């Protein structure tokens, strides 16, 4: 069986979080929008895009897929973000 990786997409409200915790999220996060983790409204569009893929399992804000697909999945997420922000 292939190695699987799970990523999580979540919204962080920096007004309600201590600065130290924000720094931890900055270190741990793969993608940011406006220097903040991805917003949940965009997450719904990402979920729609990735749900058609057979190799992606979605649970809430967690996405599990073969580890060798990470770069490809990130490209899909970035394209979705760019499209949504253009609207």
- The domain limits of the chain are 4-86
pLDDT tens readout for residues 26-77: 776 666 655 555 556 677 888 889 998 888 998 877 889 998 988 898 888 8
Residue range 7-20: mean pLDDT, rounded: 71
Q: With b meaning 16 or more CB within 10 Å and e meaning fewer, what string describes 14-45?
A: eeeeeeeeeeeeeeebeeeeeeebbbeebbee
Both tokens of residue 27? 């270190």
**pLDDT for position 33:** 56
Tallying the residues shown for the chain, one arrives at 87
Residue 20's pLDDT band, with cuts at 50, 70 and 90, is confident
pTM across the whole model: 0.63
**pLDDT for position 24:** 76
């Amino acid at each position: 069986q292939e190695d699987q990786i799970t990523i999580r997409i979540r919204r962080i409200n920096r007004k309600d979080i201590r600065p130290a915790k924000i720094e931890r999220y900055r270190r741990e996060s793969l993608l940011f929008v406006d220097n903040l983790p991805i917003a949940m409204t965009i997450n719904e569009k990402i979920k729609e895009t990735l749900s058609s893929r057979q190799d992606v399992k979605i649970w809430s804000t967690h996405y599990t897929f073969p580890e060798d697909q990470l770069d490809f999945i990130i490209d899909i997420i970035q394209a979705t973000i760019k499209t949504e922000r253009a609207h």
